[in-house]
Structure 1
Amino acid sequence: MLEVDAALHPFEVSDLGGEALFDLISDARDAEFRSDRRKVRLAYQLCVTNPAGPGIDPATWGDGLPGMAGDYDATLGGEGTPLVARFVVEDWAAATRKSRGSGQQFLANTLDLHHRLPRTHARFEDLELELWKAFRLAEETHDLSLEAARWIDARVAEVGSYSFNAIAKAVKLGVAKFHPEKLEDDNGLPGKVDWDVSVDHNQGAEGTSTLEAIGSSLDLVKFHDLVSDEATTMGRLGDTDTLGQRKAKALGVIADRQASLDLLGVLDQDPPVHPETGEPVIPRKSYLRARLFVHLSLTDLATMCAASAAVESGGVGVVESNLFGPATTHLIAGYLKQLGADARVTPVIDTTKVWAVDVHDPPQAMRDQVTERDRHCVHPHCGRSSKTCDLDHIVPFDDTGPSGQTNPENLAPLCRRHHLLNTHGGWRYQRNRDGTYTWTNQHGRSWLVTDSGTVELT
C-alpha cells in the first residue's frame, strides 16, 4: 500500500516501523490540522466577501421561511459577528457536498471563532488545537453575549484544556457570571422541576432494574456517601463482589435496616438506643462524609461572609468545588448552614509543604496536598481529575530503600490507564523543579506537561 510523505516521496506503509512510523503518524496529524485550518479560512473568506447590506437580506437559521419565526430568525453568527448574505449557506453546502444544516453550523462556528473566541482562534491558527474542539466551544457559547463568550474563551485558554469537562465547567461559570437568569431556566438540562426518583424494571435482565434519581446535589452526595460506606463495610466483612455490585446491594441493606428500626420503634425512643447493644444512638443531622474542597479568593470569601449584602446588591460570587463543580458562594454558604454542626471547616491545604513518611501509601493529608497541586492526571493530554487518580511514586518505591521515599515531590496523580501504561508500556517521566512533568515514550519521543497543557518536545 503506497503513500507519499510531506515531501511527496513515495513509501510502502507495510515497510514502516519504529521512529519512521511515528514521524509519518505525526505528519498525518499535522496535515489534518492544516487541512482544517485551510477549510476554515476559506469559509471565513466566503462570509466576509458576501456581506449582507442594503437590499441584501442576512442569512438566518430559518432564512425567513414561513413558520420559522423566533430563534430561526437569529442571524447566522452570534453577537458581535458580521452579517452574511442570505444564500451563502447554500453555496457553501453545495461546494462541500454537505447538508444545508451542516453548512449553517460550519459557517456560524467559523464566524464565532473569528470574532467571539480570539484566543481559541489563535491556538487553532497555530495548529495547536483540533477543529472539533474549537467548534465545540463555539457552539456552547453561541447563544451567550459577546462579553460572556470572550470571558469563557479566556478562561479555557488559561486552563489550557479543551476537554468536554473543561469547556462545560467554563461555560457554566460564564453563564453564572454574565447570565444568572439562565440558571433559572431548564436550558435543556434537568432542574428542580424535574426532581424525581423512579425505578424501571424493563431496562435490564431478569432480576435487574434501574434506579434514576434527580434531586438536590447535596442530598444525592449524602446518599451516595451512605451507599459507598455500606458497600465498603460489606467488602470488609467478606463480600467478594465488585465495588459497584456491593453498592447496588447496599441499597437493599439500607432499606432493610431502616425497616427494622421503624419496626422496633427505635426512632420513637428518647434517647434512641441500638436494638442489639442497648447503647444510645446519637442522631446525626447529615450523613455527608465526602470532603468538599472550595477554591476561594479573598473576594469570594468576603461575599460568603456578607451573603445578605451581596444578595441585596445583586452581586454573585462564583467558586469551583470538587463535589458540585462551579457554584455560587450563596449555594456553598447555604449548604454549610444546612449541614450545621456536621459541617467541618479545615485549614487551607499548603501545596508547597515539604514532608515525608516511611510507608508506601501516603496519608490522606499528603494525598490532598498532591491532588490539589496537580488537578488532573499528569500524563500528556489527559484531563482525568486527580481526585479519582492513583498516586504514583515517580521513583518507584523500594521496600529496602532509604527512608522518606513517600513525599509530595515523588508523588504524582495518574489515572489507572496511564498508571498501567507507565508501569508496563515503556513510558517514563520525571517531575521538574518548576512543577512540570517531562514524559518520554519507548520510541524516545518526549512531551512537557504543564498547568496550561501539553507541549511536544520532539
Structure 2
Amino acid sequence: MIETLAGPGAGEADAITASDLLASIRAERLAENAAAARQLDLAARWADLHPPESIHSAAAFTVPGTDHEEPLAGEGCPLVAEFCVAELGTVLGISSTSAKKLIGHALELRHRLPRLWAQVQSGHVPAWRARSVAETTIHSTPALTREAAGFVDAQVAAVAGRIGPAQLDRLVAETIKRFDLADLDPAADPEDGYLSVDPRHVTLHDDDVHFAGTMRWEAELDIADSLDLDQTLSRKAAEQKALGSTESLDVRRAKALGDLARTQTALELHVAGAGATSRDDMPAAREVVLHAHVDVSTRTTSDGEQTVFGPTGRLEERQRLVLLDQLKSWCGDSRTKVTIKPVIDLNAELSTPGYAIPDQVREQVILRDRTCVFPFCTRPARGCDVDHVVEYDHHAEADGRSQPGPTTTRNLACLCRFHHRLKTHSAWRYRMTANGCFEWTSPHGHRYRRDRTGTTSINGPDPDPPGIPRPRRP
C-alpha cells in the first residue's frame, strides 16, 4: 500500500507519496547547506575587498564578560576594515556583531582550517558544523598558532566535521599541550596538561527567557565551591519551608540563590556606607537598578475611577518581558528601594539652546528609542550615546547663523558607540522622518526604516547614494 499526503482540497494530481516528500525535504536541506556555504564564501570575498583603511580600525570581537577585544579571526588571517561589517549585516538582516562573526568564521575556515573549508564548499560538511569549530579555534585560550589550528583542522576534517562540543574541547586541549602553547600563557601551569584550559564559568543565558519570566543559568564550579553552594541553598530552602512556603524544592532553591545575591549586595553597601576601607582588588559595591515599564489605564466603575495595571510589562535591561506579579514581589522585599519617576510624554518636543543634553531630554530620547536606532541593532538605549542627527554647529551663533542641528528631541537619537563612530566616520547617513522613526542609507544606496517596531528594508535604491568607497585589494 502506498501512502499519499495531500493538503486540504487537493486533487489526485497534487497528492505525493511519503517517499517523494522525504526526497523533497532532503533536497531542500542540501540546497540550504549549499546556500550557507556560498554565503561563507561571499563573506570572505567581501572581507577581501575591505582591508583596513586610514579611518577604519581592524574589526574585532567584543568578548562577553571582558573589557577587551579580540581580532576577527586567528593568527594568519587578514585584517578587515571594521565599518564594512555594518553593510553586510544590514543586507542579511542581522546585527553588526553577527556580521562580524560571519566574516570571522569565513576567514578562519579559509585561512586556518582549509581542509574543513574545502569540505564545506564541496557539500560534505554543513556550514553550521564548520562555524562551530571556527568559533572554538578563534577564541581558544591560550590562542592557537597557525600550525596548531592546522592540527585541529586535520583531525576534524578526518571525521568530516562530525565532532561534538566536548570532543572539540578535548581536541583543543590536546593541541595546546602538543604545541606547548601553555608556555605562552603566563597564567597557565605547564604541569597541568589538560587542566591548562580551566573549565570554570558562570553563564547567564539571557537570550532564552521563559514565558514565566525566568532565565537559565549554567555554571562550572570548583568541587569545594559547588558543595558549599549546594549546602547553603539546601539550608535556605529548608528555612523557607519552615516559614510556611508551599513551593517546590527547586523553586525554593532558586529563590535562595537570588536571596544570596541581594543579601550580599546589601551587606557590601552597608559596609561601604559605614566608612570601612575595602581592598583595592575588590569591585565596588553598587545597587542593581532595573527599569520596568508597565501599561496603566483608568477604568470607570461604580466606585469611581480605578487604575488598572497591565499583567505584563517591559524590562529595559536586556529588553525582556516582566510579569506584574514579579514586580509586586520585588517591591514587597524589605531590601528593595522603589523609585517612581514622573511620566514623560514621548510625543512632546523638548529642547535646550546649547549643545549639552539635559537629563530630562536624554531620558525622553532613551525611552522613545529603547535601543540603538541603527538597522537591526539591539543595544539598549540606556548604554548608548545620544547623537545629533543633524550635526550641531558650534560656530553658528558666533557667525550670526541659525543653528542647523539644534539640541531638541526631534534631532536626537540613541546610537551605540560603534554605530555612532560609523555614522561620523563613514558614508552612512540617516535622517528622522517622524518622531522616533529613522531612515538610513548605506554607502551602496540600500535604505532601511528603523522605528519602535524594528527595521524594514525600503525597496528601491536611493537616487542620491552617499557614495561608495572604492575598495582596495590587499
Place the TM-score, normalised by the shorter chain, in its bin.
Answer: 0.3 to 0.5
Q: Which of the pair is proportionally richer in helix?
A: 1
Higher relative contact order (CA 8 A, sep 6+): 2
TM-score (norm 2): 0.39
Q: Which has the higher strand share?
A: 2
